[in-house]
Amino acid sequence: MTQRGVEIATQDGTSPGSLHIPDGEGPWPAVLMYPDAGGLRDTLRDMGQRMARMGYVTLVPDFYYRSGSYEPFDMRTLMSDPAQRDRLMGMVRGVTADMVARDAAAYVDYLISLPETSGRAVGTTGYCMGGRLSLLAAGRLGDRVAAAASFHGGNIAAADDPDSPHLLAGSLAATVYVAGATDDSTFPRDQLDRLEQALSAAGVTHTIETYPAAHGFAVPDNPSYDPIAAQRHWDAMVDLFGTALAPGTRSG
């Protein structure tokens, strides 16, 4: 696999990212992989490489680029370190839904411009905060996203959030896959039901599952990482993207 750091021009500046390209002869479908709240780091680069081995040109963006240069977070000690937790939450609050939409458009433009990619639509996936961003991107970009996944995504169907992804169900053109966790206060049963109702009412092809695991199960440097649940999440993406992102023919 080829991996390289890239810079993507956005409406608000320049977003770094990690680009991962499969071995062999393309073109291949493209996937936009959103990190969890800990941001772009080596663990997510490794996950981008694994996605490339599955046959997808994969971009893992740094959605905190507006914060300037920042020290990476140690996910093993993050929640027990008040100073680091406060730093993280300040950065999380600085990423609005409108920013996500603007950046997503730039990321997709970048991906489909690459000679290694096929088709005019991409897949999105993400973890924790990134699961929310994946669904927001799909809802705001319409038919530019053919498949969207969220793994232990938080607050994706909150009743009191005017920017909740479930409110964009009517704008989705993507097939949606959502995996929550049995131990996850950020995606309780009422949100699962609300998301199910919104997607069903909008006629969105979707699957919502709950894994017997804790929040953070899919990302290896999280203390709650669960190898069995993580493998299940990779298998789910094989099924989702393998169906919805069949290689297309480039034109133009």
Give the pLDDT confidence of 136-193 residue by residue, as tens digits.
Answer: 999 999 999 999 999 999 999 999 999 999 999 999 999 999 999 999 999 999 999 9
**Token digits for 81?**
């370190």
Domains delineated in the chain: 2-244 (3.40.50.1820)
**Token digits for 129?**
């905060």
**Token digits for 58?**
């994969």
pLDDT tens readout for residues 173-184: 999 999 999 999
CA distance 167 to 150: 16
Say if residues 181 and 215 touch (Cβ distance below 8 Å). Answer: yes
pTM over 0.75: yes
68 burial level (CB within 10 Å; 0-12, 13-18, 19+): exposed
Instruction: Give me the DSSP letters along 98-145.
Output: HHHHHHHHHHHHHHHHSTTB-SS-EEEEEBTHHHHHHHHHHHHHGGGE
